[in-house]
Amino acid sequence: MGFIDQYRSAADLPRLLKVFPLPGALLLPHAELPLNIFEPRYLAMVSDALAGDRLIGMIQPDIEDADLSGSPALKQVGCAGRISSFAETPDGRILITLSGICRFTIGKEIGSDKPYRQIEADFSGFASDLVDAEDDEAVDRTSLLKVFQDYLAANDMSADWDQVKAASTEALVNTLAVLAPHAPRDKQALLEAKDLKSRADVLIALTEMALARSGSGSVPGLH
């Protein structure tokens, strides 16, 4: 049994969750997010997670330009991920990969003597995240592939199209959602989309608008 398989219902997930507020960071169920951890409070968070359930909740501050040195208000929806790999560097950083498990809403923030923030997480509204990959027949895969190709072309990037065509629709949606540097509010909309089709529709619309604004040049920030 893989580590993901141990999470089959909301009851399998902890009520108390360590959270990492980070503007523009997008972790989706069944997707991965690499992170470079260097701040002392988040090094402590990762160390505690590795010694325990290995789960961290990624969430965005409620204000895009929030002062992250304090405790800014948080969005209500985030995504819990499990540390699936990690490596320590000679200069004291920890490189981790989070594998997305399930989205959550915040019940309340829990005070503690830890340097990082913890919340009471409610996973009950996102039970569908805990099942196998979603049925992707409703997704407009043709439009998705076209916008992906246009995105790569606009930024002088290439891809192995044999691998792209062989990938699941969910993997394509997640990859483009994480890759494209949409504004934090748009990343939140992708996170909160109710299902894969909705996420794909939002993603296609956002990317088409960004490409249209950029004209023949690359979309700012895509490199």
State the pTM of this model: 0.87
Overall average pLDDT of the 192-217 stretch: 85
Give the confidence band of 217 by pLDDT, cuts at 50, 70, 90.
very low
Give pLDDT tens digits for 93-131.
999 999 999 999 999 999 889 999 999 999 999 998 998
Could you name the CATH architecture of 3-130? Roll (2.30)
Query: What are φ and ψ of residue 53, in 5° steps?
Result: -90, -5
- Identify the CA nearest to 27 among candidates 102, 132, 94: 102
pLDDT of residue 136: 75
Would you list the domain boundaries of the chain? 3-130, 141-214
